[in-house]
Structure 1
Amino acid sequence: MTEFTPFVRTDMLEQREPPAGQRGIILWARENLFSGPMNTALSLIGLVVILWLASHMVPWLLHGVWNANSLTECREIITATWGPDATGACWAMVRERWHQYVFGFYPMDLYWRPTLAFVLMLVAIAPILYQSLPRQMMWFTALYPFVCYWLLWGGTIWAPVVVLMGFGLFALVFRLLVSGLGVPVSAGLGLVAAAAWWLLVQTPLSAAIHSVLPVGLRSVDSDQFGGFLLSIVIGVTAIAASLPMGILLALGRKSDMMLVRTLSVGFIEFIRGVPLITLLFTASLLLQYFLPPETNFDIILRVIILVTLFAAAYIAEVIRGGLAALPRGQYEAADALGLDYWQAQRLIIMPQALKISIPGIVSSFIGLFKDTTLVAFVGLQDPLKGITAVVRADINWKGIYWEPYIFAGVIFFLICFGMSRYSMWLERKLKTDHR
């Protein structure tokens, strides 16, 4: 019988790399592209499509011309440089008309005003997006809408100041009455007082102060707005206003008070059942008929109000989904702590519901910003249809097609992609579980 002598290795084997087929890009391709017959066939078809698109698009992009005064001159440069059968993009149109895509027909000597307003907007939203910044910056965030309006539209500085006084009156009435009448009644009376101030006092008071201290900027009409300036004004304003309105509508839809619940449900279902373009036509054509004669209600303001209401209805349903996802124990915990309804919502319920609803809220915001291009149907010069139509109507750029749409599409993509990435970063930051 053969005897086996046991042997124990006294040194470790050197670490070696796995075989070439089990590491790197080869392993990734085997697992993701060629893991089975169907996956392999789809991968090969996709590769053929990508190669076909690249063979047509890459030369067109590489042959692009940036210095020319017309489409005809672009084509002559492409023919002289790459041959008679070559094609190329005429980016000279972007170089010559970029200011119209950004500012519309805003006076060129006043470009500093929307530029300053955009820079200040970044400063104003910074403390909202990043909690690590000093909370004292929120005071500037609250004042920014009035500063922005004055910079963009101009006129006397006392008009936004007197409007701001109306909000101060609301806060004063609310603070004086909240301890005795509660939050809803105090807020309602505060709104009545502020509305009376804006309707009866604002115009004569601002005119009287301006007659004594004439401080202001040159006025700019709304029909001179256009391009991404118009899209950002409508989109950012509607986003900022629709979120708190959506929260109130979501709470109203879940309220135990029948009147509040009925009004909230009716508003949400009506707005969600009507296309946005219908509301825009209402803002442009019909709303003026219900106002007193000779009333000048700015078209951009009308559009902002209707777009805000439209977005608030969708945000309300997104937040209602977040509220429904919370377990009943969270509400019972708030009751056990002795919190009233508004304290429970502010400290316990709503922070968790908003965290759950972040993807849906940001998706609604992205869709809202892209929907600002629909204002072209009510006569406003959006960057995608309005300004592009103006550019293509110029005899020098007659016949150009892809370049203006690609330029506008890239800008929209960068803005929407930035919102999406911020949403993902915020989700990771607020994530508390370890799964």
Structure 2
Amino acid sequence: MTDISAPRPSITPATPFVSTAFHEPQPAPVSTRGPILWARQHLFGSVPQVLLTLFGIWLVYVTVPPLIKFFLIDAVWTGTNRDACLAEKLGRPVGACWPFIWAKLDQLIYGFYPASERWRVNVVYWLGALLLLPLLIQSLPYKRLNAIAFFGVYPVVAFVLLTGGNLDLQRFVLGWLGVDFSTIGGAQGLRIGFWVDYVLSTVLLTAIAYGISRFLAGPEGGRSAAQTTLSVLGVLAMVLLAVDIDTGLPQVETRLWGGLLVTLVIAVTGITVSLPFGILLALGRRSKLPLVKWLCIIFIEFWRGVPLITVLFFATYMLPLFLPGRFTIDGLLRALVGVALFASAYMAEVVRGGLQAIPKGQYEGAMAVGLRSGLMMRLVVLPQALKLVIPGIVNNFIGLFKDTTLVLIVSIFDLLGSMRAAFTDPNWASPTTLFTGFGFAGIIYFVFCFGMSRYSMALEKRLDRAQRH
């Protein structure tokens, strides 16, 4: 037995240890970070994902290598005629016939625009790019002046350069009235007719601008509407004078335009016009004034219920039959108006969806701080609504850009129309010419559409910072 009377050994209490340095953070396991984590979450997370991943790999395998082989490896890069793209002449498989594209490049870019005047088109291209790029880059200053230059000054400069200016204003309003001052006093009558039509045109457009601004300003915004109208009056006066000044440039009819020039003119005009008009139509459809509301509803539903090709056919072939007297409208201008109105109706529904998504508390908060209806809509509601529908807006823009190919049916040669016209040249008839041309056109359309898509995604991320958790 143990002697309990024996002395027990002493126990030394443990000395506490406190580290004077922090432990270095350890990397996460390989399976929970980096490419492996992304692959597990997006490619191999479940059986359906595995099947879709395998299908995607197979699809890439059967499509990408043949395209690379056709457009790059087996492609012909130099030559002067169809013999350079014939397999029996080269003794090997022949892919894309790129010499055909180089030979027809001017036609694809300018259409039948006179060669001696193509510098004007180049100036329009470069000026548009120089004004647009700073507008898209957020960090650059002077955005307001840049926007005024791009949306206000640039269209007038582009119009004067491309057409030569010297617009016959006497046919703008007086043509509708059937009045011809040239029969009254020759050259003196023409000058009188110009100033009469100039005043009538300015008054007419200013009245339209006053009605729109008064509608947006609300019942208490008479002063702001008057200020807006005076500003519009001054701008319209300068614009109408600018497009009628004799610049000394030779006149180039729009029937000579074609290729990428027509595609960009139609797309840019439709995009820049459809957004503001779509906003006005969306606001009008939500108006409490029955006349305004039903007019907007009828307009939107009519244009949404008619195919675009029908609009182009009517504007090209039917509208001239209803014009009075000697009044005429340029064929490309008729197509531009039809496309712009068609796109505006679709844009109105996109914007209306954004307006309906705004909570009622935003309206109440704006009214609580004393904002009038016009300011409430412009400063509080519309910015939030437009931010919510950025994907829908850009989707309309991309669809409109691709729909420009429909103008070929009414004998307006856009990029695709000029390409199809180039196919008729017997000097470049080869088995691969057709595929090369359509592939080149597809690349151009993809670059523009993909660029709009990526910019809209970047814009969404930048504007959605307040919603991130």
Give the TM-score, by structure 2 length.
Answer: 0.77
Q: Residue in 2 aligned with 1:3? A: none
Instruction: Select between 288-297 and 153-162 the one with higher mean Cα deviation.
Output: 153-162
**How much has 1:189 moved relative to structure 2?**
8.8
Given the alignment of the two structures, is residue 257 of structure 1 paired with residue 268 of structure 2, yes or no? no
**How much has 1:59 moved relative to structure 2?**
2.4
Decide whether aligned partners of structure 1 residues 332 and 21 sit closer, same or farther in structure 2, where only a CA change above 3 A counts: closer
- Asked which structure has the greater CA Rg, the reply is 2
Residues 317-332 of structure 1 mapped to structure 2, 5 A cutoff: 317-332=349-364
What is the rounded CA distance, in whole Å, between the counterparts of 2:23 and 2:371 in structure 1? 65
**How much has 1:227 moved relative to structure 2?**
0.9
Root-mean-square deviation (CA), in Å?
A: 4.0
Q: Which amino acid aligns with 1:100?
A: Q
What is the rounded CA distance, in whole Å, between the counterparts of 2:393 and 2:406 in structure 1? 21
Q: Residue in 2 aligned with 1:33? A: 43
**How much has 1:147 moved relative to structure 2?**
0.8
Does the 8 A contact of 2:87 with 2:94 survive in 1? Answer: no
Equivalent of 1:88 in 87, 95, 98: 95
Does the 8 A contact of 1:63 with 1:78 survive in 2? Answer: no
Instruction: Select between 138-147 and 236-245 the one with higher mean Cα deviation.
Output: 138-147
Given the alignment of the two structures, is residue 244 of structure 1 paired with residue 276 of structure 2, yes or no? yes
What is the rounded CA distance, in whole Å, between the counterparts of 1:187 and 1:269 in structure 2? 33
What is the rounded CA distance, in whole Å, between the counterparts of 2:34 and 2:463 in structure 1? 33
Decide whether aligned partners of structure 1 residues 290 and 337 sit closer, same or farther in structure 2, where only a CA change above 3 A counts: same
**How much has 1:254 moved relative to structure 2?**
0.3
What is the rounded CA distance, in whole Å, between the counterparts of 1:34 and 1:416 in structure 2? 31
What is the rounded CA distance, in whole Å, between the counterparts of 1:290 and 1:427 in structure 2? 45
Count of residues in Structure 1 that have an aligned counterpart in Structure 2: 415
What is the rounded CA distance, in whole Å, between the counterparts of 1:395 and 1:291 in structure 2? 41
Question: Which secondary structure does the structure 1 equivalent of 2:95 belong to?
Answer: coil
Decide whether aligned partners of structure 1 residues 124 and 52 sit closer, same or farther in structure 2, where only a CA change above 3 A counts: closer
Instruction: Select between 53-62 and 258-267 the one with higher mean Cα deviation.
Output: 53-62
Question: Which secondary structure does the structure 2 equivalent of 1:297 belong to?
Answer: coil
Given the alignment of the two structures, is residue 394 of structure 1 paired with residue 405 of structure 2, yes or no? no
Given the alignment of the two structures, is residue 97 of structure 1 paired with residue 104 of structure 2, yes or no? yes
Q: Residue in 1 aligned with 2:382? A: 350
Question: Which secondary structure does the structure 2 equivalent of 1:293 belong to?
Answer: coil
**How much has 1:49 moved relative to structure 2?**
3.2
Instruction: Select between 122-131 and 224-233 the one with higher mean Cα deviation.
Output: 122-131
What is the rounded CA distance, in whole Å, between the counterparts of 1:23 and 1:206 in structure 2? 62
**How much has 1:312 moved relative to structure 2?**
0.5
Q: Which amino acid aligns with 2:94?
A: T
Does the 8 A contact of 2:156 with 2:242 survive in 1? Answer: no
Which 5+ residue runs of structure 2 have no aligned equivalent? 1-13, 173-193
Q: Residue in 2 aligned with 1:113? A: 120
Q: Which amino acid aligns with 2:125?
A: F
**How much has 1:92 moved relative to structure 2?**
0.9
Equivalent of 1:412 in 415, 430, 445: 445
Q: Residue in 1 aligned with 2:402? A: 370
Decide whether aligned partners of structure 1 residues 54 and 233 sit closer, same or farther in structure 2, where only a CA change above 3 A counts: closer
What is the rounded CA distance, in whole Å, between the counterparts of 2:375 and 2:31 in structure 1? 60
Equivalent of 1:68 in 70, 75, 79: 79
What is the rounded CA distance, in whole Å, between the counterparts of 1:79 and 1:215 in structure 2? 53
Question: Which secondary structure does the structure 2 equivalent of 1:216 belong to?
Answer: coil
**How much has 1:123 moved relative to structure 2?**
3.7
Instruction: Select between 36-45 and 224-233 the one with higher mean Cα deviation.
Output: 36-45
What is the rounded CA distance, in whole Å, between the counterparts of 1:346 and 1:12 in structure 2? 54
What is the rounded CA distance, in whole Å, between the counterparts of 2:227 and 2:407 in structure 1? 33
What is the rounded CA distance, in whole Å, between the counterparts of 1:274 and 1:362 in structure 2? 22
Once the two structures are superposed, residues 316-349 of structure 1 have per-residue CA deviations (whole angstroms, 9 ceiling, x without a partner) of 0011011001011111122222222211111111
Q: Residue in 2 aligned with 1:58? A: 68
Q: Which amino acid aligns with 2:118?
A: Y
Q: Residue in 1 aligned with 2:6? A: none
Question: Which secondary structure does the structure 2 equivalent of 1:217 belong to?
Answer: coil
Once the two structures are superposed, residues 207-246 of structure 1 have per-residue CA deviations (whole angstroms, 9 ceiling, x without a partner) of 9x86xxx532111111111111001001101111111110
Residues 211-222 of structure 1 mapped to structure 2, 5 A cutoff: 214-222=246-254
Question: Which secondary structure does the structure 1 equivalent of 2:86 belong to?
Answer: helix
Q: Which amino acid aligns with 1:66?
A: W
**Larger relative contact order (CA 8 Å, sep ≥ 6):** 2
Decide whether aligned partners of structure 1 residues 37 and 428 sit closer, same or farther in structure 2, where only a CA change above 3 A counts: closer
Once the two structures are superposed, residues 74-107 of structure 1 have per-residue CA deviations (whole angstroms, 9 ceiling, x without a partner) of 2258834xx3xx2311111111111111111111
What is the rounded CA distance, in whole Å, between the counterparts of 1:116 and 1:245 in structure 2? 28
Which 5+ residue runs of structure 1 have no aligned equivalent? 1-5
Q: Residue in 1 aligned with 2:222? A: 182
Identity of aligned residues (%): 39
What is the rounded CA distance, in whole Å, between the counterparts of 1:77 and 1:96 in structure 2? 22
Decide whether aligned partners of structure 1 residues 429 and 54 sit closer, same or farther in structure 2, where only a CA change above 3 A counts: closer
Does the 8 A contact of 1:326 with 1:353 survive in 2? Answer: yes
What is the rounded CA distance, in whole Å, between the counterparts of 1:329 and 1:18 in structure 2? 44
Once the two structures are superposed, residues 396-415 of structure 1 have per-residue CA deviations (whole angstroms, 9 ceiling, x without a partner) of 22242111111111111111
Q: Which amino acid aligns with 1:427?
A: E
What is the rounded CA distance, in whole Å, between the counterparts of 1:264 and 1:119 in structure 2? 38
Instruction: Select between 183-192 and 68-77 the one with higher mean Cα deviation.
Output: 183-192
Question: Which secondary structure does the structure 2 equivalent of 1:393 belong to?
Answer: coil
Q: Which amino acid aligns with 1:133?
A: P
Decide whether aligned partners of structure 1 residues 191 and 330 sit closer, same or farther in structure 2, where only a CA change above 3 A counts: same
Instruction: Select between 364-373 and 150-159 the one with higher mean Cα deviation.
Output: 150-159
What is the rounded CA distance, in whole Å, between the counterparts of 1:18 and 1:353 in structure 2? 41
Q: Residue in 1 aligned with 2:332? A: 300
Instruction: Select between 221-230 and 50-59 the one with higher mean Cα deviation.
Output: 50-59
